[in-house]
Structure 1
């Protein structure tokens, strides 16, 4: 922006004629011979309701010469720039034809641009005013250019306007001071905003509103509410704008009780409740958790706009009331992209990626709105959750086709999608081609390398990140420590963990401790892991004890596993995963009586093991399989393929690992059959019968893959000469030629 402004300063505009200086001190001269009675054509300007009609009046003014009178031209500019049917392009063309626009006309154009989608034009016109106009900017000019600077968050430019107003002896004008309070608040400098507010000699309601809004939006809700109380003490009557700011502060504080008091205050004081204020109350109720109050208000509102509907839609979605959210969505008289995004993101963020993508496809067919950055980020995230590579690729192509500039959010989402869908090479391609890489872009790429078992490469990328002067954050360290965990890089993990706070200023949190316990425990250093937990400066969370329990399962340490399970259940009594992990340990050591005991406890508490679910994408369609699933239309063929696989496995000496069963099954053939019903085996079998021999089989599982399925996948990759990519809850396993990328360290 500053370059554009400087260019304008250094190259004087040539489109406007140079004005001769005049002795007339009035910047808005009225021609004594020009008035609406003498020239009725001027009164027609006020009657115009379209640009076409205005152009007809413009033509008449040119014929009669009236256009060259400054006052008359000013009226035409006002109508073309500020009327309900205004056209700024037309207004600018008209302005450029005026030989000597007066200051009123300059201010009108500056004002129109300040409220336009391109407020920088307001500043450029202001620079032309300084160069061409015989009059210096006045008390009406500065509020408009300060507003433009607010919109652009152009701090240095706005401060320059402040200085110019002081030099012009306008520093005590209340309109300019109110604009400056809003400007400094918009730029995040609340101290300067407050300093201007305090120095305002005769504060009006706008002064108070500007400061209350600045504090509320600047993260100081308590101070905003305090100022509201001060406003009452000064006997300044609040209006609807005041109450919007106060409600915003209540929302930021999540103070429902005070928010309700504000709503009753509005009613008692008969403050005009317009749509904006109704929406502010609705938003406060919803975000403060009172859905009943929000629904009561919504049903009572006589006027609703897209914000009102979207607020209710978002509220239902966040409560998990998806049917009601859909009902609100369908009832909306018009749907902008924000409404579509609210529904898509609600599904995506609450573990319903299939539903999110279904709404995304509906959006594409509806033509009501075009996907924006938020839509695409949500759709990419949903694709990543499902492992829907085809749709993820389509979104990538859509971004390129429509010339959408890749910002860091989209870049991060693309990297995450490709990595989680199994195409690490493409994820790295996106990373290296990105023009700008923030900490999240780097962190997502490190996470991708980590989940694919490339621990060393992840550490190398972390080093390059530091060389690029990008400061790592807590997410970065979680991903780096995961990389060390997946590949047994114990010393490297410890070194980075103990450098977090002293070297990088990142305080280790529960996720980092859980990762460190996993690193130590997975590598067999169980006692070191216990000592680390005992020395934690924060209370160990369920995830920390879960990491220790998982390590005990790997190394068969029953005594420590029972202690870890007990501590985990103290924190989270309904954690079915704890029972399952301990049950796995008992089953691995053949203690089936204890397995049965745990299963009984789970039944008594009404706990159920999360069912295993595996999905596979074939020709753009995601197919899901549960344990023992026979609902697929090709079930017969899938089970026939499983029988063929079983026969081939036996021919090469495969023996099922029955310790991976969670329940006591007496008959040996039933144990074998139960293992065959695992969801990942069904998905792999479907992949073998439905995909070409050159296509990799990509399977996504919601749980950790069991040891027997891992062994079977290795053998299938060799027997059928197929590449199999299996993503479980924690990482990727690349099976090829009878081997796995994890080298059985998982």
Structure 2
């Protein structure tokens, strides 16, 4: 931390003893400064023990400081030296606390501090507190920090700016922004570090607007900012995605002659890239005389996040050094922009090239891509890689694995991962509840939520969304009402629009339309498009034309370009035989240029993901697939199958032979491909981007019985497990 390093420079030399006046009086002590390695220092240590020089507090502190702070320092050896000193002076205690506070074991720094208070004759001074406060910040312990703050006040050191700056950093690290601000306001003469600490901390903790307000105050009070200030301010601009103010900050830096080092240049570049101005980013990038791996990766990440994949790839190819952060930026860019196949292709290239080793971020992004595609074979391979490499399953990886297995159709494997780990945060619990919900295991999801309470894990907003979805898929109306009503009074979580949408969905799916409408009318917030969309979707299931028209009208008022609203209403009309209304809607969509999302189904066979669109003939094995499909339809008709033509308009818009059109739905093509190229008893797993239509649902049930094959189909909302002529949803979806 800057304040600690700066303060150390002013540490005074300790008072000399009667036997040793200064380093020059004793040749042994003067040689300590000339040591270049640990062995030389150990030889001096031995000599000091033989001559008794080691038992002088100042001499011992000199040796100890070299063992702890020199370029060749060894914490293990330094600790042994410290333990040999009969009466360590205050400088020695402070130095040991400092070393631990800055190292991998900050808790030890606090324990040494407690020993000093208990065993030594010294009370902590203005040099002690910044070090031990830093240790408390490192372990993110606000309780320890508050205790130390009390000791500072008791020692009448509350006015010390260096200690105050340390306390600001501590409180910000612990997320206590109010206490950090109070300490800041108590400082009589704030230095630039005081302002920097609070500005940077607020920006990092998501309070970007407050950070910018503080910078404006700093400027108004004529406190001259430095490069560290501007890095914090630019970070706040980036968090706010405020390109206009970010540009003003860059011009402010130039106008005020603030020294621009590599760190500040990278902060400006990051601001431009994340705020969406690739032109400004490219101009700055080309002007930068010095570039490091952060510079290159920032530029690559900017291109990738804005969908400029070719440019991102060019940056990766010309980088002087391709570290894993650069590969992660490209993989993440594809994955977050709905291009999971491309993300997996980059991951495979990384593995084959062996240029860099995949890390946790790589694996999380790649598992998310697998989840989107339903690529379980690849996901299993990543899980195996985690085990082979001995990578510890932290909560991020655990959540990603549970999400991948759940969305790829193997909820039992997701549960296995869930129960295999000892540490589960709220996101791990929430992911497992979501997995059970999407597979229709509503009761199991609610039971897991109860166990979450028993484990004293506090749920969050996402947890409740998942629990309410579980109630919706399982038709648990009473339970859904209970959970929604408990959110704020019991758990302190105010319901948000997604929770209200879930409740409307719960009531609507159950056919309780009067209740659903009354619920919407009494909502404490204005109903959003998702609320009306949930009601419209329920109207489609039950064929409620009048309410569907009302819901569609309200939805289009909020989102005029929502093609899905027209499609859902068209489906309601088709289901109830109102073909004139269907034609009118289709004509309106053609005139206004609205096009519905095209149905797409994917299926993974031997680690390769195959994609099918409705009526697709792009696949190299199309001839065999359509031949198999003809066989399937003929076999289904022999047992009485009749196509449900009322479902035609869910997936196509053009006039055609209705029966033929239904046969070409993407999930039917995927089922035919699975029967051809996946050997029994391997389940046929299909991922669909839209809600499965009633005809395809009926076909999948019959195929599962006639061909004795398990079919697992994920549509936009949930999973359907078909087997023996039945579906796990019990026709409630």
> What is the 5 A alignment of 1:608-647?
608-647=595-634
CA distance in structure 1 between the aligned counterparts of 2:159 and 2:490, rounded to whole angstroms: 50
Instruction: Name the CA distance, whole Å, in 2 between partners of 1:526 and 1:193.
Output: 51
Provide the C-alpha distance between the structure 1 equivalents of 2:44 and 2:491, rounded to a whole number of angstroms: 71
Q: What residue number does 1:375 align with?
A: 362
Q: Is the 8 A contact 2:202 2:210 kept in 1?
A: yes
Out of 377, 380, 402, the residue aligned to residue 393 of structure 1 is 380
Aligned pairs for 1:203-282 (under 5 A) are: 203-232=190-219, 235-282=222-269
SS in 2 for 1:188: coil
SS, match of residue 716 in structure 2:
coil
Q: 2:341 aligns with which of 354, 368, 372?
A: 354
Do the aligned partners of 2:464 and 2:499 also contact (CA within 8 Å) in 1? yes
Tell me the residue number matched to 2:24.
35
Displacement of 1:339: 3.3
CA distance in 2, matches of 1:591, 1:445: 42
CA contact (8 A) 2:32 2:66 kept: no
How do 1:10-409 and structure 2 match up within 5 A?
26=15, 31-32=20-21, 34-35=23-24, 42=31, 45=34, 48=36, 51=37, 55-56=39-40, 59=43, 68=54, 81-82=68-69, 88-89=75-76, 103-104=90-91, 106-126=93-113, 137-165=124-152, 170-232=157-219, 235-409=222-396
| 1:544 counterpart residue number | 531
Structure 2 residue aligned with 1:714: 701
The alpha-carbon distance between structure 1 residues 654 and 185, as it changes in their structure 2 partners (threshold 3 A), is closer
**CA gap 1:619/1:236 in 2 versus in 1, 3 angstroms:** same
8 Å CA contact 2:704, 2:725 repeated in 1? yes
Give the secondary-structure state (helix, strand or coil) at the position aligned to 1:35. Answer: helix
* Offset, 1:132: 7.6
Quickly say closer, same or farther: Cα 1:578–1:43, change in 2 above 3 A. Answer: same
Q: Is it true that 1:561 corresponds to 2:559 in the alignment?
A: no
What's the CA shift for 1:716?
A: 0.9
User: Is 1:483 the counterpart of 2:470 in the alignment?
Assistant: yes
Structure 2 Cα separation of the partners of residues 78 and 38 of structure 1? 17
1:661 is paired with a residue whose SS is helix
Match of 2:9 in 1: none
Q: 2:499 aligns with which of 499, 512, 516?
A: 512
For 2:438 and 2:159, locate their aligned partners in 1 and report how far apart those are by CA, in whole Å.
62
Q: Which shifted more, 574-583 or 705-714? A: 574-583
Distance of 1:126 and 1:565 partners within structure 2: 67
421-430 or 153-162, larger mean C-alpha shift:
153-162
* Residues 635 and 137 of structure 1: CA distance in aligned 2, closer, same or farther (over 3 Å): same
Change (3 A) 1:272 1:703: same
Deviation at 1:349, TM superposition (A): 2.3
> What SS is found at the alignment partner of 1:616?
strand
Compared with structure 1, are the counterparts of its residues 79 and 262 closer, same or farther at alpha carbon in structure 2 (3 Å cutoff)?
farther
Q: Is the 8 A contact 1:592 1:664 kept in 2?
A: no
Q: Per the alignment, do residues 28 and 592 of structure 1 end up closer, same or farther by CA in structure 2, a change over 3 Å counting?
A: farther
Distance 1:230 1:133 in 2: 44
Per-residue displacement from partner, 1:353-378 (whole Å, max 9, x unpaired)? 22222233333334444444333332
- Measured against aligned partners, the alpha-carbon deviations of 1:324-362 in whole angstroms (never above 9, x if no partner) come to 233333333334444333332332222222222223333
- Secondary structure of the residue that 1:277 maps to in structure 2? helix
Give the Å deviation of 1:166: 5.3
**Using the alignment, how far apart are the partners of 1:401 and 1:348 within structure 2?**
25
What CA deviation, in whole Å up to 9, does each residue of 1:538-588 have, x standing for no partner?
333222222222223223333433333233222222222222223323333
CA distance in structure 2 between the partners assigned to 1:156 and 1:531 by the alignment: 48
RMSD: 3.6
Distance 1:152 1:642, change over 3 A: same
Q: Which runs of 5+ in 1 are unaligned?
A: 1-23
Retained in 2: the 8 A contact 1:446–1:462?
yes
The aligned runs of 1:525-674 (5 Å cut-off) are: 525-662=512-649, 670-674=657-661
Give distance in 2, aligned partners of 1:417 and 1:178. 44
Tell me how far apart the structure 2 counterparts of residues 147 and 468 of structure 1 sit (CA, whole Å).
Answer: 32
- When normalised by structure 1's length, the TM-score is 0.85
8 Å Cα contact 1:177/1:200 also seen in 2: yes
Tell me by how many angstroms 1:684 deviates: 1.1
Contact 1:291–1:315 (Cα < 8 Å) also in 2 = yes
Q: 1:704 to 1:166 in 2, by over 3 A?
A: closer
Quote the residue 2:670 is aligned against. 683
Q: Against the structure 1 CA distance between its residues 251 and 628, is the aligned structure 2 distance closer, same or farther, given a 3 Å change threshold?
A: closer
Cα deviation for residue 653 of structure 1 reads 2.0
Which residue of 1 is the match for residue 509 of structure 2? 522
Distance across 2 between alignment mates of 1:337 and 1:661: 48
Aligned residues: 716
Distance 1:665 1:225 in 2: 54
Residues 367 and 677 of structure 1: is their aligned pair in 2 closer, same or farther, counting only changes over 3 Å?
same
The whole-number CA distance in structure 2 between the counterparts of 1:244 and 1:153 is 23
Q: What SS is found at the alignment partner of 2:34?
A: helix
Contact 2:41 2:67 in 1 (8 A): no
Residue 406 of structure 2 contacts residue 414 of structure 2 at CA under 8 Å; is this kept in 1? yes
Distance 1:112 1:493, change over 3 A: closer
**Structure 1 501/657 Cα, relative in aligned 2: closer, same or farther at 3 Å?**
same
1:448 aligns with 2:432: no
Change (3 A) 1:269 1:72: farther
Measure, in 1, the Cα distance between the counterparts of 2:614 and 2:211: 56
